[in-house]
Each structure stands twice: as structure tokens, then as C-alpha cells.
Amino acid sequence: MIVSLISFAVSCATSEPVSPLQTFKTYTKAIKAKDTTTMKLLLSNATIKVHEKEAKAQGVTVDDIVKRETLFSENQKSVEYRNEKIDGEKATLQVKNSYGSWETVPFVREDGVWKIDKQGYADQMMKDIEDSDKKLDDLIKGNQPPANQE
């Protein structure tokens, strides 16, 4: 019996953490069940900190922010997902929004658990905008004739 317990403990200790997809499925169920506690447990520390700042600024609770800022509409009948990609301590999953467009949801592994990283999502959006602006600037600069040429 002791050998069985040791084997079980070792297998649990070496098993892979729940996948980002499984985390997302649990988050989806929590949204539909209006289970804010579970929703918060599945959000990264950085995301919770951002929500705390928003709540303080708006004079509402963190729960209010978490309920309001979900990854899809509460009325959405089904949630489709694809292309789970894991790269070390970060991961992404594409999720179809209520408008039928695919969005990339970032995840981060914290204490061995995959969590939804909405802050990473916001950071990625800012990076995409900056990259787009840089490409536009490069394109504009590249199409202008060099100075002092006649």
C-alpha cells in the first residue's frame, strides 16, 4: 500500500499541468455559471492587478470587472477554439468571438498552472499596433525621395 501511495505521489508530481485549452474550457463553464471565484482563479496575477486598478478607479468591485470583461459574450451559444500553441511558460489559443472573428487568447503558466493572461492580450495588442505603425512609417519614409536630390 505504501508503494502505491508513493507511486501515486510521484506520478502526480511529474504530470503535466492542465493545458491552456482545459483552462479555457473551465473558464467558459465558470462564465456561464456566473462563478466569479473560479473565473478569478483562472486569470493571471497581472490580469488581477489590472482589474484591481480598474475597480478602484471606477468605484466597483474586482468581481464586477471580472464579470464584465469576459473573453466572449455571455449570450454566445457556443465557443469555438483552435490552434493551441505552447512555448515554454506562455501559450496561446485562438477563440472565435461573437462576431465570427478569431482572436488569440494568451496564457501564462504561474505556479505550474495555466492561467488566462488578459494583460498579455492587452500587451500583444499594443505591440501589434506599434509594429503596424512602424511598418507604415517605414513605408512612408521609403516612398519619399531622399533629401537634396534634384
CATH number where 108 lies:
3.10.450.50
Give the HSE-up count for residue 139: Cα atoms under 13 Å, Cβ half-sphere.
6
- In order, the DSSP letters of 77-131 are S---EEEEEEETTEEEEEEE-TTS-EEEEEEEEETTEEEE-HHHHHHHHHHHHHH
Mean pLDDT of the chain: 79
Residue 10 counted as domain residue: no
Q: Which three cell numbers stand for residue 143?
A: 516612398
How many separate domains does the chain show?
Answer: 1
Distance CA 139, CA 3 (A): 67
Q: 131 pLDDT band (50/70/90 cuts)?
A: confident
What are 71-110's pLDDT values in tens digits?
776 666 778 889 999 999 999 999 887 788 888 899 999 9
Whether the full predicted model's pTM is greater than 0.85, yes or no, is: no
Q: 5 pLDDT band (50/70/90 cuts)?
A: very low
Q: For residue 116, what are the CA distances in angstroms to 88, 92, 96?
A: 15, 9, 16
Domain that holds residue 128: 16-143
